[in-house]
Amino acid sequence: MTRLWGGRYSGDIDQRMWRFNASIGVDIRLAAADVRGSQAYARALEHAKVLSAAEAKEIARGLEVIANEIREGI
């Protein structure tokens, strides 16, 4: 597995910790729902005038790219 973090550690990470953190099988099942929730939140932030329409649209486009990648298994 490629490490995305841990560059500051001088020793190896204990295998028990790797097993504890190996949740990608569960995470991927939640990913599509998480993206939908993020899309709804962006719309709510636009409605609350925290985000401009352009910002909300850009976020929605980015999240749609992520949703497509999830569907394609990327």
Q: What span, in angstroms and rounded, lies between the C-alpha atoms of 54 and 60?
A: 10
The arithmetic mean of pLDDT across residues 44-65, rounded, is: 98
The winner for highest mean pLDDT among 5-14, 15-24, 31-40 is 31-40
Asked if residue 72 belongs to a domain, the reply is yes
Q: Which two tokens stand for residue 74?
A: 């990327």
Q: Which domain holds residue 62?
A: 34-74
Number of domains in the chain: 1
Asked if residue 57 belongs to a domain, the reply is yes
Asked if residue 71 belongs to a domain, the reply is yes
| Axis-axis angle for helices 53-72, 24-47 (nearest 10) | 160
- The DSSP secondary-structure symbol of 5 reads S
Average pLDDT, the chain: 87
Asked if residue 49 belongs to a domain, the reply is yes
For the full predicted model, state whether its pTM sits above 0.95. no
